[in-house]
Amino acid sequence: MSQLQVSAPAITRSAVLLFFMPFANSVNGAGSAACPSNRYASTVGLALTLAQDWPPWGLPACPFLDLKAMIPLPIIIDCDPGVDDAIALLLALRSPELAVQAITVVAGNVPLALTQRNARQICELLGRRDIPIYAGCPRPLVRSLVTAEDIHGKTGLEGATLPDPALPLASGHAVSYLVETLQSAPAPLTLATLGPLTNIAVALIQVPAIAAKIERIVMMGGGITQGNITPVAEFNIYVDPHAAQVVFAAGMPITFLSLDITHQVLTTPDRLAAIRAVGHPVSDFATAVLSHYGKADEALLGTVGAPLHDPCVIAYLLRPDLFTTEPGQVQVELNSSLTLGQTVVSPASPDRLPVDIVRSVDAAGVYELLTNRLGHVGN
Ligand SMILES: [Ca+2]
């Protein structure tokens, strides 16, 4: 059973998460790069997972203690920060239900030199120096890099004035990390992808067998009825459509979170006011960047507030009940100059593993979750 599909009595889950919180997400109190918190959580998590499956002759499941549901979900976040990536990282790293193993960074919203710097700044803001950050591909597989400074500002985090990060990049390439980690993982891992899919595609090209070690990719990308960088193409897929096609063809479980969903999750004035009112250094950062974010999108869409794309992926991992999905399939247009990068969504086919197409979102629920997590969690 997928870790996303299990459930447990909320009170039991909360009790166990309180136990894990200091180890899995020591917000604003984390130590050095040598801090073994993630390894500890992973080891304990694996032990509990194995315990849940033991003994193999199958005792009746205990209805009051679903250990798998109470273990922080180990995830790798691949991203191109970017304002909405930054908010997604804040949400993930302040949520004890998730054990972020690493952040892998790719070129996208801004060039790689800035996306990796922004990721390090965000981890420093949160005191999460225990999370390794790997720099990945500086450009797409085939095309030249397209960036989005009109949405995110010249640095990718317009509105924020964070200090130069002292936190170094982890040594090694993001693709090498993905390949080696997935190959050696004792159980499949979940990937949250928030940017162009170049790193993931290159890893899959290098070692196709790692697809079997990916529990699921929860992806922000694509559109069903609309685009944002062209009339039909969404930015992440348009930047590297060939990488996206590699990922969709690899045969892994994928959750497809498109513009049709994220365009409902708008940074309206009342939602920004609620975040501002939290009054915490992390929420102050979020307020600063979100106040500058997405003006071009607002003008394009004619909306009050800009779409907050990437945090929807993390919200889905935390609260899948805020979303509905249905099975389908996704193909990426690679040849037309007019519709390059369009994601064509069609009904599920019996000869292909279906993609879980997200069809609806409780936007108020997403902002309530985000606002709560930006506040005084664990400190
Ligand atoms: Ca992104």
CA of 12 to the centre of ligand 1 (A): 34
> Number of folded domains in the chain?
2
Name the token pair of 74.
């180990």
- Residue 33 has what pLDDT? 34
- Looking at the domain assignment, is residue 62 inside a domain? yes
Q: Find the largest Cα–Cα distance for the chain.
A: 61
Q: What is the full DSSP assignment across 114-144? A: HHHHHHHHHHHHTT-TTS-EEE--SS-SSSP
Name the token pair of 365.
């629920």
Q: Based on the fold, state whether residues 366 and 256 are members of the same structural domain.
A: yes
Domain residue limits at 339 = 73-374
Catalytic residue among 152, 292, 309, 376: 309
Nearest to 178 by CA among 243, 82, 92, 87: 243
Q: What share of the chain is helix, strand, coil (3-state, %, to 5)?
A: 40, 15, 40
Q: Based on the fold, state whether residues 281 and 313 are members of the same structural domain.
A: yes
- Looking at the domain assignment, is residue 107 inside a domain? yes
CA of 238 to the centre of ligand 1 (A): 12
- Residue 65 has what pLDDT? 59
- Looking at the domain assignment, is residue 1 inside a domain? no
Q: Based on the fold, state whether residues 12 and 84 are members of the same structural domain.
A: no
Q: Based on the fold, state whether residues 20 and 123 are members of the same structural domain.
A: no
- Looking at the domain assignment, is residue 282 inside a domain? yes
- The pLDDT tens digits along the chain (379 residues) read 344 433 333 333 444 444 444 444 433 333 333 333 444 444 444 444 444 434 333 344 455 556 666 789 999 999 999 999 999 999 999 999 999 999 999 999 999 999 999 999 999 999 999 999 999 999 999 999 999 998 889 999 999 989 999 999 999 999 999 999 999 999 999 999 999 999 999 999 999 999 999 999 999 999 999 999 999 999 999 999 999 999 999 999 999 999 999 999 999 999 999 999 999 999 999 999 999 888 888 888 899 999 999 999 999 999 999 999 999 999 999 999 999 999 999 999 998 999 999 999 999 999 999 999 998 654 4
The conformational region for residue 156 under phi > 0 = left, psi -120 to 50 = alpha, else beta, is: left
- Residue 100 has what pLDDT? 98
- Looking at the domain assignment, is residue 17 inside a domain? yes
- The pLDDT tens digits of the residues spanning 92-119 come to 999 999 999 999 999 999 999 999 999 9
CA of 82 to the centre of ligand 1 (A): 6
- Looking at the domain assignment, is residue 379 inside a domain? no
- Residue 377 has what pLDDT? 58
Q: Based on the fold, state whether residues 320 and 240 are members of the same structural domain.
A: yes
Lay out the sheet containing 133-135: strands in order across. 133-135, 98-105, 73-79, 189-193, 214-220, 254-257, 355-361, 323-332, 343-347
The one-character DSSP state at 266 is B
- Residue 57 has what pLDDT? 35
Q: How far apart are CA 28 and CA 130, in angstroms?
A: 11
CA of 310 to the centre of ligand 1 (A): 6
Domain with 115 in it: what CATH number?
3.90.245.10
Q: How far apart are CA 180 and CA 89, in angstroms?
A: 23
Q: Based on the fold, state whether residues 107 and 153 are members of the same structural domain.
A: yes
Q: Based on the fold, state whether residues 38 and 150 are members of the same structural domain.
A: no
Q: Based on the fold, state whether residues 263 and 369 are members of the same structural domain.
A: yes
Domain boundary among 35, 68, 101: 68
Q: Based on the fold, state whether residues 150 and 57 are members of the same structural domain.
A: no
- Residue 80 has what pLDDT? 98
- Looking at the domain assignment, is residue 2 inside a domain? no
Identify whether 309 is a catalytic site residue.
yes
Contact in structure between 215 and 317 (CB atoms under 8 Å): no
What are the CA-CA distances from residue 266 to residues 126, 176, 287, 304, 306 (Å)? 24, 36, 14, 8, 5
CA of 15 to the centre of ligand 1 (A): 33
Name the token pair of 301.
């869409």
pTM: 0.85
Kindly provide the b/e burial profile for residues 312-351, where b requires at least 16 CB atoms within 10 angstroms of the residue's own CB: bbbbbbbbbebbebeebbbebbeeeeeebbbbebeeeeee
- Residue 66 has what pLDDT? 62
Q: Based on the fold, state whether residues 92 and 239 are members of the same structural domain.
A: yes
Q: How far apart are CA 80 and CA 84, in angstroms?
A: 9
- Residue 62 has what pLDDT? 52
Q: Based on the fold, state whether residues 135 and 61 are members of the same structural domain.
A: no
The one-character DSSP state at 361 is E
- Looking at the domain assignment, is residue 141 inside a domain? yes
CA of 195 to the centre of ligand 1 (A): 4
CA of 301 to the centre of ligand 1 (A): 19
Q: Based on the fold, state whether residues 19 and 122 are members of the same structural domain.
A: no
- Give the position of tokens 């999750």: 265
